[in-house]
Structure 1
Amino acid sequence: MSVLIVVVTFLLMEGFTWCTHKYIMHGFLWYLHKDHHDHDHEGKVEKNDYFFIIFAIPAFALMYYGSLQGFNYWFYIGLGITIYGFSYFFVHDIFIHQRIKLLRNTQNPYLLAIRRAHKQHHKHTGKREGECFGFLWVPIKYFKMYFKNKRA
């Protein structure tokens, strides 16, 4: 049952991430997210990086609270959120934005589709414009783009 809770939480985080990104990061917390779009910052750290802490606090709180209750479902919900957060860090910060140079020359259609969708998101530098607010779910048109190129 605990594995199911972790997996379901991980999957539900995609919808939560989409809503958070569109309505909070591109909403009232735009001042933290803005430098991620316009790259108006010095050094490697962006104000946008504070979201790591903002999202980690509830996940760790759930894990802590759940561990005090004998590792109940709260712990596994927090674990699912944490695993999603690590996945987000790996794909977004390491793979897409190349903060650590890995998978630079991948030919995997799914990874290329994620990269293209994110690039489409970043072509809009304003708060209100935008598309592709999700993370792991990629609109089908970006898959088609790379599968078509693979067959040609």
Structure 2
Amino acid sequence: MTQGIEFLEVIYEQLHEAGIIRSKGEFSERLLGKSPSYLTSMRARKRVISGEVIMGLGDRLMAEIAELGSDPSHAQIRSELRRAVAWVNYHLADQTIPDGIVPWEQPTAKSPQAPKPMAWLRVLASILAIGSVGRISS
């Protein structure tokens, strides 16, 4: 069983592609608070990742964001880190869903965008706009 490993690897890939993390070893040490070989070792041994490790990742990501401050030159990095925090929160919340309830689709390295909660509003607005096209204005 590799529960949690895939999730950590998705976060690693996202941060690696953004240039924030250079290696799995750096990710393991800097953001998981573990030894440099933690991520690859846990994958090889097919171990389950504890919730504490995931929560620690969220805390360390938030600390990285705070450390960057509000300097505009770090806006892109802060954005990527916030996206990773959102996925951590989503993953932790998803773990609380009882068996039998179908959760949202898990993120992949190809699609690290969080679900868009306001999409329904845009659909409603387009429906209302279509309905008003045929009306005669007074």
Q: TM-score range by the shorter chain?
A: 0.3 to 0.5
Greater RCO, CA 8 A, separation 6+: 1
How does the TM-score come out when normalised to structure 1?
Answer: 0.35
Between structures 1 and 2, the one with greater helix share: 1
How does the TM-score come out when normalised to structure 2?
Answer: 0.38
